């Protein structure tokens, strides 16, 4: 029996029963639209069940991206770049004029710095010394900053036994006169306008200056720079009888038991008392460092700013270079026979020291 072939009429009827292609596309789009949504931030389409999570994260990423790349402070990568950046913040259209005498430059400089009401230290520093002719093209201002930074270090800070930086002096008179705030401004101006960096702070002081948080700072006995409290710590360490030291210990805020087995707690109280009492001085200094947004830079880049404020480890090794750099011979008049001989002697001395170094002939405890 032969197979029956479908007729053309029946085939056309079955095709009419199939759904229309355009209606299928419309249905698919409706289903897709119901299950997706557009992120209002990045305008991308996501499934409706994850769009909320994405939008939250997308918002955080956008804010983080804007903060990281809109502020040029975030791009600084070295101490030199920091100095260049704060230098660019100096207002070159205005001048901050200081007229002082060279006698008592610290007190007069502080007073004149604070009395300038018509201009701001954000402007370019211009210095004039009484009785001296000349226009400050930068040299006089750098000389003034050098003298003031040295005086600030000597008068407002005190070093410890280890010589690893200084703490502020506990001086309420200087605090009342806002000298520490002015000192902070002078430090900022010195860094921004070619003066010397204030590389004399202890590390814990710098940590407080950039963070403003004392609780997260670890201080030790080496951070005690006041002679009074350093001697008290030595007395506590060297005795088991605390009765003679009762008044001194109690004045440091210690309220625990006075006995030999509590030495560590007593010493800890002395350390905290010695350092915490100068925090108001650091607060004033911190306000002064807000000039040129320097304090903000310190907060964001503490590691890069550290070498500008805290002295590094010094190499105390005495070598040929050290001896010659600290040797100041007095020569005869240039052009004379004696002068030539004296220069030859110094050259021979230099060659001798360098030869000793090369051969390893170092003296130690009187022996070679």
Tens digit of each residue's pLDDT (9 = 90 or more) over 337-354: 888 998 899 888 888 888
Residues 114 and 213 in one domain: yes
Is position 358 within any domain?
no
Is position 159 within any domain?
yes
Structure tokens at 368: 């070679």
pLDDT tens digits, 270-280: 999 999 999 99
Is position 37 within any domain?
no
Model-level pTM greater than 0.95?
A: no
Whether residue 66 is predicted with pLDDT greater than 50 in this model: the reply is no
Contact 225, 332 (CB under 8 A): no
Last residue of a domain, one of 276, 308, 340: 308
Is position 69 within any domain?
no
pLDDT tens digits, 243-267: 999 999 999 999 999 999 999 999 9
Is position 286 within any domain?
yes
Residues 128 and 241 in one domain: yes
Provide the domain count of the chain: 2
* Nearest alpha-carbon partner for 297 in 118, 88, 149, 41: 88
Residues 299 and 327 in one domain: no
Collapsing DSSP states into helix, strand and coil, what is residue 45?
strand
For residues 134 and 17, the model is more confident at 134
Residues 329 and 249 in one domain: no
Is position 362 within any domain?
no
Residues 126 and 270 in one domain: yes
Residues 168 and 192 in one domain: yes
Is position 355 within any domain?
no
Residues 252 and 338 in one domain: no
Residues 170 and 94 in one domain: yes
Contact 295, 283 (CB under 8 A): no
Residues 220 and 116 in one domain: yes
Structure tokens at 301: 């880049």
For residues 140 and 313, the model is more confident at 140
For residues 12 and 173, the model is more confident at 173
Is position 125 within any domain?
yes
Residue 166: enclosing H or E segment and its boundaries?
A: strand 166-168
For range 223-241, the mean pLDDT: 94
Where in the sequence is the domain holding 337, given as residue range(s)?
320-350
Residues 272 and 331 in one domain: no
Assign residue 201 the CATH number of its domain.
Answer: 3.90.1750.10
Residues 192 and 341 in one domain: no
**Burial (0-12, 13-18, 19+ Cβ within 10 Å), 233:** middle
Residues 342 and 200 in one domain: no
Q: Give how far Cα 349 sits from Cα of 82, 113, 201, 257, 318, Å.
A: 43, 49, 38, 63, 15
pLDDT at 69: 43
For range 71-98, the mean pLDDT: 90
Give the DSSP per-residue string, 171-226. Answer: -HHHHHTTHHHHHHHHHHHHHHTT----TTB-HHHHHHHHH--STT----GGG---
């Amino acid at each position: 029996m032969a197979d029956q072939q479908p007729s053309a009429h029946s085939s056309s009827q079955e095709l009419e029963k199939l759904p229309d292609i355009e209606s299928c596309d419309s249905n698919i789009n409706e289903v897709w639209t119901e299950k997706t949504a557009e992120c209002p931030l990045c305008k991308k389409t996501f499934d409706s069940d994850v769009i909320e999570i994405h939008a939250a994260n997308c918002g955080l990423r956008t804010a983080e991206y804007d903060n990281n790349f809109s502020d040029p402070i975030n791009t600084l990568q070295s101490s030199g770049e920091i100095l260049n950046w704060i230098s660019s913040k100096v207002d070159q259209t205005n001048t901050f004029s200081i007229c002082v005498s060279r006698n008592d430059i610290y007190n007069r400089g502080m007073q004149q710095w604070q009395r300038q009401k018509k201009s701001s230290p954000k402007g370019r520093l211009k210095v004039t010394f009484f009785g001296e002719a000349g226009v400050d093209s930068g040299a006089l201002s750098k000389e003034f900053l050098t003298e003031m930074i040295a005086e600030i270090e000597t008068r407002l800070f005190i070093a410890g036994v280890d010589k690893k930086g200084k703490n502020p002096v506990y001086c309420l008179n200087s605090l009342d006169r806002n000298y520490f705030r002015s000192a902070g401004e002078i430090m900022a101006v010195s860094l921004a306008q070619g003066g010397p960096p204030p590389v004399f702070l202890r590390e814990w002081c710098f940590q407080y200056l950039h963070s403003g948080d004392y609780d997260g700072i670890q201080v030790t006995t080496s951070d005690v720079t006041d002679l009074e409290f350093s001697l008290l710590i030595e007395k506590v360490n060297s005795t088991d009888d605390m009765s003679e030291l009762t008044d001194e210990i109690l004045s440091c805020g210690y309220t625990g038991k006075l006995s030999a087995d509590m030495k560590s707690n007593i010493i800890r109280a002395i350390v905290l008392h010695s350092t915490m009492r100068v925090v108001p001085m650091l607060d004033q200094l911190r306000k002064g460092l807000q000039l040129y947004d320097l304090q903000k830079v310190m907060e964001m880049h503490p590691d890069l700013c550290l070498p500008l404020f805290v002295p590094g480890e010094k190499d105390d090794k005495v070598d040929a270079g050290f001896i010659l750099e600290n040797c100041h011979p007095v020569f005869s008049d240039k052009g004379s026979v004696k002068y030539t001989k004296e220069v030859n002697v110094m050259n021979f001395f230099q060659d001798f020291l360098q030869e000793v170094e090369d051969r390893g002939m170092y003296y130690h405890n009187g022996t070679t």
